[in-house]
Amino acid sequence: MALGFIKKVFTFGKDKAPADASSPEAELSAEEKAAIASETEPHSREENLPLSPVDPVAQAEMETAGGPSDDDEDAEPELIPSGEAPGELGMVPLSLLQAEAEAEEGSDGEQGQSPSVPAEPVLPKGFATRKEVAPVEAAPEVKLSWFQRLRQGLSRTSAQLTGQITALFTKRKLDEATLEELEDLLIQADLGVETAMRIADTLSSERYGKDVTGEDVSRIMSAEITKVLAPVAKPLELDLSHKPHVILVVGVNGTGKTTTIGKLAAKLSGSGLKVMLAAGDTFRAAAIEQLKIWADRTGSDFIGTKLGADAAGLAYDAFEQARARKSDVLIIDTAGRLQNKAELMSELEKIVRVLGKLDPDAPHTVLQTLDATTGQNAMNQVEIFRNVAGVSGLIMTKLDGTARGGILVAIAAKHKLPVYFIGVGEGIDDLEPFEAQDFAHAIAGVAH
Ligand SMILES: Nc1nc2c(ncn2[C@@H]2O[C@H](COP(=O)(O)OP(=O)(O)OP(=O)(O)O)[C@@H](O)[C@H]2O)c(=O)[nH]1
């Protein structure tokens, strides 16, 4: 790695230095030393040159960004713009000399190292040398479990809530005023009026007139949220007597439809089912390409069409082909352009109608993806898509980000739609079955 390379360069210099130090130089006169110094100084500058292009930070960033690796020799000069190095080097000598002078002052008989060990330049005030960035390389080792990612994603909601609740009950007994304030806090966290009242009522019946701790509220909150979520935490039922079982995936653009389809396909094909993916979002070339990539990754069949083609026609063709190939599951992606609601509605309605011509029960599942970072807006989205496409279940995505997961509780209380899975990352395995208690714990900040 780049860091190793740098170390090698430094080590090489150090190895050389003692040899010089053991040379008769120690016995040289002041003039002779000065003559040697003036000869060696330009040389030490040159030795700096190869170090700059392999700045470990730049290199690590390039690597994480999927850029050129160590092996890519051609990429090396791009890391440092060609015009920069000489300019920087032009500023170095004074500081280099200072650094060398300091090194000489501070070292006992190690003068011989200075020509081959490039002394650290003393940078002007306000600058600092960027040190080794080992953590960049070490990061992948601390892969969080999916629950840790969920907890991290919901930490904004839970930290804000628990902090406010603790502050609310500090030196105050539970009375009408504190109960009302508590309800407000819970509503602000998107949990919904109904659940907020349930939590407040339970707390009131347990501790009215008494002291209340943040832990009391977290425990009750977690239990009440679990009660709301448990009935909707259901597995996605597949009726494999249908060949194929048709899953239509709907949702606003960017909520994670295509990614979720890829993750579902991975699970299903991984368990031996024959899966076909249909690119029904015919408005974006990238959406079609992205789905094709997921199909390739998951060993699924793929059917797409021209950009701008009729999505319902594609859905029909996909259903026929999946039947002919005896696919177990057909998953159809759709567009989600809420900007043009009338068009979107008629397109989705048409897809549902057309699929029904081949099998009156199709689509057998209509899945809606919700982006957990959007908060209250997710409630409106469920209302729209439920009416248009007859949504039969939900998947909440991006719960690993800065999620505002409280809204899922409000949606569950109002719509009582099954929540099958949650997305906790962009990777192929980052889709987990929805567990009511885990989710409630994460929101309420209760230990797992
Ligand atoms: N962190 C995180 N990112 C996700 C998750 N699910 C999807 N994404 C990302 O969200 C972005 C949008 O996802 P898509 O799958 O393209 O969403 P879409 O609904 O198909 O959007 P369109 O293709 O525009 O219709 C992508 O960058 C995904 O990688 C998740 O669970 N966690």
Per-residue model confidence as pLDDT tens digits over 170-182: 878 889 999 999 9
Tell me which of 397, 404, 431 to substitute to probe ligand 1's pocket, judged by most ligand atoms within 8 Å of the beta carbon.
397
**Pairwise CA distance, residues 95 & 425, whole Å:** 47
Backbone angles phi, psi at 300, to 5 degrees: -100, 155
403 close to ligand 1 (CB < 6 Angstrom): no
233 DSSP 8-state letter = B
**Amino acid identity, position 237:** E
Greatest mean pLDDT among 101-110, 183-192, 315-324: 315-324
Q: Round to the nearest angstrom and report the end-to-end CA distance of the chain.
A: 38
The CATH classification number of 149-232 equals: 1.20.120.140
Structure tokens at 126: 């306000």
Structure tokens at 156: 């904004």
Better pLDDT: 57 or 132: 132
4 close to ligand 1 (CB < 6 Angstrom): no
pLDDT higher than threshold 80 for residue 47: no
Is the distance from CB of 228 to CB of 413 less than 8 angstroms?
A: yes
423 close to ligand 1 (CB < 6 Angstrom): yes
> Which helix or strand (DSSP H or E) is residue 301 part of?
strand 301-303
**Pairwise CA distance, residues 60 & 22, whole Å:** 38
111 close to ligand 1 (CB < 6 Angstrom): no
User: What band does 123 get if pLDDT is binned at 50, 70 and 90?
Assistant: confident
The CATH classification number of 245-436 equals: 3.40.50.300
| Binding-site residues from annotation for GTP | 251-258, 333-337, 397-400
Half-sphere exposure of 28 (CA within 13 A, CB side): 17
- Integer angstrom CA distances of residue 310 from 155, 156, 306, 336: 43, 42, 9, 15
Domain extents in the chain: 2-141, 149-232, 245-436
257 close to ligand 1 (CB < 6 Angstrom): yes
ipTM metric: 0.95
Atom of ligand 1 nearest to the CA of 261: 15
Question: 189, 27, 32, 26: which is closest to 109 by C-alpha?
Answer: 26
User: What band does 210 get if pLDDT is binned at 50, 70 and 90?
Assistant: confident
